[in-house]
Amino acid sequence: MLSRAARSASRTLVPAPGSRGSRQKHSLPDLPYDYGALEPHISAQIMQLHHSKHHATYVNNLNAVEEKYLEALEKGDVTTQVALQPGLKFNGGGHINHSIFWTNLSPKGGGEPKGELLEAIKRDFGSFDKFKEKLTAVSVGVQGSGWGWLGFNKDQGRLQIAACSNQDPLQGTTGLIPLLGIDVWEHAYYLQYKNVRPDYLKAIWNVINWENVTERYMACKK
């Protein structure tokens, strides 16, 4: 039985288009595959909770925070504007990060990238295996909740690995363009791997969607 994400929160236009402060509400993107599609590497139960509960909550909370922020801005209430910042970063980052993550994974994934991306990886990390080791180590080493990232440094024209805390979005906080993210919040793996984050990391390489990572890389280089 299909258990495709059915939550199609449609985009709602708030106030008239073009008027100051008008914006569309954010919505939960559908998964490009069924909840069970990434088994045995990531369980259906995890995928369903992760997408339909965690990501959905970031989306809903982001919309709520943006609404409050606009009100505070109109009233000149800087105290509230600053007080809302953590919520904007957390929920906005959560929405951005997970939207990227679902596309970074695929039931047809795994193996190695090809062509330009592979060449760039070899150039910037020495070999694919060294890159994989490094991203794994950085992801495993995140203290608490966060993400491991392969990003693109536009200023230097090179690939770079970085870790972010909580839901801090890679680009907004470091300037690196996100290519591949690895969610290491416990909700991403705990039900299946418990505290053994390294086992989750071993498994996830089997479902990395290199086509998507390559698309993102090629888009950066324009």
Partner 1 sequence: MLSRAARSASRTLVPAPGSRGSRQKHSLPDLPYDYGALEPHISAQIMQLHHSKHHATYVNNLNAVEEKYLEALEKGDVTTQVALQPGLKFNGGGHINHSIFWTNLSPKGGGEPKGLIPLLGIDVWEHAYYLQYKNVRPDYLKAIWNVINWENVTERYMACKK
Extract the annotated binding site for Mn(2+). 50, 98, 183, 187
Residue 185, interface with partner 1 (CB under 8 A)? yes
In angstroms, what is the minimal distance from the CB of 172 to partner 1? 3
Residue 153 bridge partners (DSSP) = 158
Residue 64, interface with partner 1 (CB under 8 A)? no
In angstroms, what is the minimal distance from the CB of 112 to partner 1? 29
CB of 12 closer than 8 Å to CB of 25: yes
State the helix-helix crossing angle for 128-140 and 197-204, rounded to 10 degrees: 150
The per-residue DSSP string of 146-185 comes to EEEEEEEETTTTEEEEEEEETT--HHHHH-PEEEEEEE-S
Q: Which stretch binds partner 1 (CB under 8 A): 2-10, 78-86, 153-161, 198-206?
A: 78-86
Cα angle 189, 216, 90 (rounded to 5 degrees) comes to 50
CA 200 to CA 194: how far, in whole Å? 9
The torsion angles phi and psi of 77, rounded to 5 degrees, stand at -90, 85
Q: Name 183's Cβ contacts closer than 8 Å, sequence gap at least 6.
A: 50, 97, 98, 101, 147
Residue 165, interface with partner 1 (CB under 8 A)? no
In angstroms, what is the minimal distance from the CB of 66 to partner 1? 7
Among 2, 6, 10, 19, binds partner 1 (CB under 8 A): 19
Residue 40, interface with partner 1 (CB under 8 A)? no
Residue 74, interface with partner 1 (CB under 8 A)? yes
Helix ranges (H only) for 107-189 are 115-125, 128-140, 170-174
Q: In the stretch 95-134, what mask flags binding to partner 1 with x, by CB under 8 A?
A: xx--------------------------------------
The contact set with partner 1 (CB under 8 A) reads 15, 19-24, 26, 49, 53-54, 57, 62, 66, 69-70, 73-76, 78-79, 81-82, 85, 88-89, 92-93, 95-96, 144-145, 169, 171-173, 185-187, 190-191, 194-195
